[in-house]
């Protein structure tokens, strides 16, 4: 009797994990389609100087998201190093502030976020490091292991120089081993609030190798593929419950190679594909001419989605549009500025998801960038400074650039319209 009861309880818990079935996400054998948000800083909020205030913010913002049908959040699991990196103030506090020295207290912030998400039946996608400097990431591992000097990483390099430096991460055996230490440290965590081991927590949907890992140079492609194979095997051998994905931007992040994008997502250890779409960064409109540039933005976005979705279809795996964003009209950072172009763009993205659901296509989720919650930019200050409230724009970007604040009524009206249909 007790064994039967134990198996029943275990099976009920297991059924809550997000799985992939017949090329789609499912929970408890029911299809799972979602509109989610990027909430990279969520695990840092409870670590603020006023911890009680930070925890209240977490609960308030999760309640707001849940009320609007958003039940999936993409979150930074850990930052590396301290101080400025190539001219940027990085996210803090870091799980690994010094080389191979971990601060377990930092994970209590992520513990709290996952604990509160679990109460609300929300799901987290956790990325384990970063291709970019704003949380330390690969550049910090290169610095710790003497491949990139402090002088090289003091000021913002040219794009070509940054590619040259970052690409060395995959051929730096010591760097990769240090990264694996951090991955294993996180995987072995037991939540201080829920008392659940991370690997047994249904509030986690997936582990993501890093935010936008690129080979950066063709010469590093083979090492890049080896790194992906090694780390996905490492995670899957430790954690039998959760999905694994890479965190790529799509073919633009694989040296514009459809073949490489398909190859790295083909192994059974990789459960689904991701793409990111950045019209501003990819120069699909000029200056502040977002309205005038929208026809090009829409056309290019649809072509990019179609190109990557064709690869996901061949692999018979889900595809998530897990980053997309657009500034406010006239490129304003003011929360009071209009969002007509952004609202139009979000509608386009959500339409692709809904169409995919109705036609049993490969697109199964999307996470807009980014949720700014109750935070607001400081008037007259463009960039984040130590002590400021975190919001959706990382420290290296203008605060207010791509944020969706809780006050953006027109955008939330659109989000809720689509989540109401998807969550039926």
Taking the alpha carbons at both ends of the chain, their separation in whole angstroms is: 37
| DSSP string over 217-274 | SGGGHHHHHHHHHHHHHHHHHH-SSSEEE----SGGGTTT-HHHHHHHH-STT---EE
Closest CA relative to residue 243, chosen from 111, 388, 327, 125:
125
CB atoms within 10 A of CB 158: 8
3-state secondary structure of 365: strand
Six-digit token pair at 155?
A: 């000021």
3-state secondary structure of 189: coil
- Nearby residues of 103 by Cβ (< 8 Å), 6 or more positions away: 93, 94, 95, 96, 97
What domains can be seen in the chain, in order of their start residue?
A: 32-422 (3.20.20.80)
CB atoms within 10 A of CB 320: 26
Q: Count how many residues are written for the chain.
A: 424
**How many CA atoms does the CB half-sphere of 172 hold within 13 Å?**
23
pLDDT tens for each residue of the chain, 424 residues long: 443 444 344 434 434 999 999 999 999 999 999 999 999 999 999 998 899 999 999 999 999 999 999 999 999 999 999 999 999 999 999 999 999 999 999 999 999 999 999 999 999 999 999 999 999 999 999 999 999 999 999 999 999 999 999 999 999 999 999 999 999 999 999 999 999 999 999 999 999 999 999 999 999 999 999 999 999 999 999 999 999 999 999 999 999 999 999 999 999 999 999 999 999 999 999 888 899 999 999 999 999 999 999 999 999 999 999 999 999 999 999 999 999 999 999 999 999 999 999 999 999 999 999 999 999 999 999 999 999 999 999 999 999 999 999 999 999 999 999 999 998 8
**Chain-centre distance for alpha carbon 94:** 17
**Rounded to whole angstroms, how far apart are CA atoms 190 and 108?**
10
**Rounded to whole angstroms, how far apart are CA atoms 90 and 355?**
38
pTM score, whole prediction? 0.95
């Amino acid at each position: 009797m007790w064994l039967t009861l134990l198996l029943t309880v275990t099976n009920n818990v297991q059924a809550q994990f997000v799985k992939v079935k017949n090329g789609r996400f499912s929970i408890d054998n029911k299809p799972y389609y979602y509109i989610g948000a990027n909430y990279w800083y969520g695990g840092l909020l409870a670590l603020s100087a006023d911890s009680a205030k930070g925890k209240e913010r977490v609960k308030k913002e999760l309640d707001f998201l849940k009320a609007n049908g958003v039940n999936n959040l993409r979150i930074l699991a850990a930052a590396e190093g301290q101080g400025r990196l190539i001219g940027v103030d990085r996210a803090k506090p870091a799980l690994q502030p010094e080389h191979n020295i971990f601060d377990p207290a930092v994970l209590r912030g992520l513990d709290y976020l996952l604990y509160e998400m679990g109460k609300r039946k929300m799901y987290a996608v956790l990325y384990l490091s970063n291709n970019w400097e704003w949380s330390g990431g690969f550049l910090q591992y290169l610095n710790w292991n003497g491949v990139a000097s402090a002088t090289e990483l003091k000021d913002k390099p040219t794009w070509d120089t940054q590619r040259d430096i970052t690409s060395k991460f995959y051929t730096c055996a010591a760097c990769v081993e240090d990264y694996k230490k951090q991955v294993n440290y996180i995987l072995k965590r037991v939540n201080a609030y829920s008392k659940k081991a991370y690997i047994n927590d249904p509030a986690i949907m997936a582990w993501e190798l890093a935010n936008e890992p690129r080979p950066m140079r063709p010469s590093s492609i083979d090492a890049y593929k080896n790194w992906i194979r090694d780390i996905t095997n490492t995670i899957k051998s430790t954690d039998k419950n959760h999905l694994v994905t890479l965190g790529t931007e799509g073919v633009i992040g694989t040296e514009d190679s459809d073949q490489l994008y398909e190859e790295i997502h083909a192994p059974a250890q990789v459960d689904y594909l991701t793409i990111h779409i950045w019209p501003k960064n990819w120069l699909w409109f000029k200056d502040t001419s977002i309205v005038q540039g929208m026809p090009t933005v829409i056309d290019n976005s649809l072509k990019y989605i179609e190109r990557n979705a064709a690869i996901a279809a061949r692999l018979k795996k889900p595809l998530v549009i897990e980053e997309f964003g657009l500034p406010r009209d006239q490129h304003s950072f003011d929360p009071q500025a209009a969002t007509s172009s952004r609202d139009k763009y979000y509608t386009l993205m959500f339409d692709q998801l809904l169409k995919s659901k109705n036609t049993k296509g490969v697109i199964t989720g999307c996470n807009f960038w980014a949720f700014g919650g109750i935070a607001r930019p400081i008037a007259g200050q463009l960039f984040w400074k130590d002590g400021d409230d975190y919001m959706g724009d990382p420290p290296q970007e203008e605060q207010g650039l791509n944020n969706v604040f809780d006050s953006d009524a027109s955008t939330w009206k659109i989000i809720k319209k689509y989540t109401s249909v998807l969550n039926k």
